[in-house]
Amino acid sequence: MRLHWQGPTLVVRTPAKLNLFLDVLGKRPDGYHELETLMVSIGLYDTLRFQTNESGRLELSLDAASPGITPAMRELLPLDERNLILKAAQLLRDYTGCAQGAFIQLSKSIPLQAGLGGGSSDAAAALVGLNHLWKLKLSSSELHSLAARLGSDVNFFLDSVPLALCRGRGEQVAAEPLTRPLHFVVVKPPGGLSTRDVFQSLHPQRLSCGSDAIRKAMQTGHPALIGAQLHNSLEVPAGVLSEEVASVLAALRSVSSVGRMMTGSGSSCFALCAHRGQAVRAAHVLRASCRGQVFVVQTAT
Ligand code: C5P
Task: Give the SS3 label for residue 223.
Answer: helix
Beta bridge partners of 1: none
Task: Give 65 Cα–ligand 1 centroid separation in angstroms.
Answer: 30
Q: Is the pLDDT of residue 206 over 60?
A: no
- Comparing 2-16, 82-96, 247-261, which segment has the lowest mean pLDDT? 247-261
Tell which residue, 145, 149, 151, 265, has the closest CA to residue 202: 265
Task: Give 255 Cα–ligand 1 centroid separation in angstroms.
Answer: 32
Q: Count Cα atoms within 13 angstroms, Cβ side, for 299.
A: 22
Mean pLDDT of 150-158: 97
Q: Which of 39, 196, 200, 263 to mutate to test the pocket of ligand 1 (most atoms within 8 A of CB)?
A: 196
Q: What is the percent of the chain where pLDDT is above 90?
A: 92
Task: Give the SS3 label for residue 94.
Answer: helix
Helix axes 243-255 and 276-289, enclosed angle (nearest 10): 130
pTM of the model: 0.97
How far apart CA 45 and CA 57 sit, in angstroms, is 26
Tell which atom from ligand 1 comes closest to the C-alpha of 200: 12
How far apart CA 135 and CA 81 sit, in angstroms, is 23
Beta bridge partners of 61: 105
Q: What is the percent of the chain where pLDDT is above 70?
A: 99
Q: Using CB atoms within 10 A of its CB, is residue 204 exposed (0-12), middle (13-18) or buried (19+)?
A: exposed
Tell which residue, 289, 283, 248, has the closest CA to residue 268: 248
Pairing of strands 101-107, 33-53: antiparallel
DSSP assignment, residue 63?
Answer: -
Q: Which of 19, 24, 27, 33 to mutate to test the pocket of ligand 1 (most atoms within 8 A of CB)?
A: 33
How far apart CA 235 and CA 43 sit, in angstroms, is 23
How far apart CA 179 and CA 192 sit, in angstroms, is 32
| CB distance 48 to 12 below 8 Å | yes
pLDDT, position 76: 84
Tell which atom from ligand 1 comes closest to the C-alpha of 35: 21
Task: Give 291 Cα–ligand 1 centroid separation in angstroms.
Answer: 28
Mean pLDDT of 261-288: 97
pLDDT, position 70: 77
- Comparing 57-71, 107-121, 162-176, 246-260, which segment has the lowest mean pLDDT? 57-71
Q: Is the pLDDT of residue 14 over 90?
A: yes
